[in-house]
Structure 1
């Protein structure tokens, strides 16, 4: 099957599964809504903040406060793109139609990445503009140094989360197993390793910890992270490539059972 036909097929499959499209919509809504709410609260409490917090106040990051929930939705989206076919058994038909495993996986990654990127950029820009409106006099402007990079980076970050999850799901094949590993990894293990002094130097190189630096504009006081925003996103991209490579190797070596 030609590459264009594979892309059309994958687009049809993703679009026809209501849960995947609803998950993307949920990523947009919850991220923007929570970011706006937190921004409004930060505006109302700014006068009561200690001086240390005011000096490191980052209005751009504040507007991305809902990104954690958006990340959750993107993780589910990435898993569903692959695991739905395994759970329903249609993966056998798909691989019979596209026997070349690389072409098959490329089609899924390409379509999922484009959808995730569109949703991620819409989410990031909407969260920023609404969040800054809620911050009132403490807001940042898109033209301020580092702000546009952070907003664009927010969309890229959400895209990489989805594609990383897709790669992991390709390796594991099971939606329950994939989510059972990814959810604790992103929302428990990574946070613990990144905030405990003994493991902080390791945690900062995990995909979400490294990638999220792209959304920071104002440096945190006492932050000694040895890389910048784009390098952090590059580290995350390496994790994504590793997950996709693992998925490709296992997909090529085993049956679709």
Structure 2
């Protein structure tokens, strides 16, 4: 099957599963909505902050406060894109139609990544502009140093979260198992390792801890990371690459 036919086939599969499409919409709604809410609360609490906290206040990053929860939907999207075919048994038909497993996986990842990127970018820009509108006099401007990088980075971060989830789901094949690994990893293990002083030096190299740095314009007070925003995104990209390579290798070796 030609590459264009594979892409069309994968697009049809994704849009025909409502739960997969809904997760992308949910990612946008949660990220934007929570970002707006936190921006309102931050504006109201700003006067009560200490002088040190005021200096470290990052209006751009405040807009992306909803990303921590919105990425949950992106994780589910990435897992569903891959695991739906295994849970329904469609994977056998798909691999029969596209025997070249690399072509099959590349087509699936290309379509899903393109969708995640579009939704991620729209969500990031919307979260920024709406969040800044809520911050009023505390707002940042898109032309301020580092702000456009942070906004674009927010979209890239969401996309990489989805892509990492696809790689893990390809390795594990099971929706339940993949979510059972990813949810504790991002919402339990990473926050603990990243915020406990004894493990912080290790935690800062986890994908979300490193990748989220791209959305920061003003460094946090206790920031000791030996890398900058783009360095953090590169670390996250290496995690994604490892997951995808692992998924490809196992897909090549295993039966459907």
Please indicate, yes or no, whether the TM-score normalized by the shorter chain is above 0.5.
yes
Q: Which moved more, 1:162-171 or 1:215-224?
A: 215-224
State the 4+ residue runs in structure 1 displaced beyond 2 angstroms: none
- Alignment correspondent of 1:48: 48
Distance 2:185 2:123 in 1: 23
Distance 2:111 2:8 in 1: 9
1:95 and 2:95 equivalent?
Answer: yes
Instruction: Give the C-alpha shift of residue 204 in structure 1.
Output: 0.5
Structure 2 unaligned segments of length 5 or more: list them: none
1:124-181: CA deviation from partner (whole Å, max 9, x where unpaired): 0000000000001000000000000000000000000000000000000000000000
Instruction: Give the C-alpha shift of residue 222 in structure 1.
Output: 2.9
- Alignment correspondent of 1:233: 233
Instruction: Give the C-alpha shift of residue 68 in structure 1.
Output: 1.1
Instruction: Give the C-alpha shift of residue 223 in structure 1.
Output: 1.2
Distance 1:224 1:34 in 2: 27
- Alignment correspondent of 1:148: 148
Instruction: Give the C-alpha shift of residue 52 in structure 1.
Output: 1.6
TM-score by length of 1: 0.99
Distance 2:198 2:68 in 1: 24
- Alignment correspondent of 1:203: 203
RMSD: 0.6
1:182 and 2:152 equivalent?
Answer: no
Instruction: Give the C-alpha shift of residue 121 in structure 1.
Output: 0.3
Structure 1 unaligned segments of length 5 or more: list them: none
- Alignment correspondent of 1:12: 12
Distance 2:224 2:161 in 1: 24
TM-score by length of 2: 0.99
1:72 and 2:72 equivalent?
Answer: yes
Distance 1:67 1:223 in 2: 20
Alignment of 1:85-164 (within 5 A): 85-164=85-164
1:88-114: CA deviation from partner (whole Å, max 9, x where unpaired): 000000000001110010001100110
Distance 2:65 2:127 in 1: 9
- Alignment correspondent of 1:245: 245
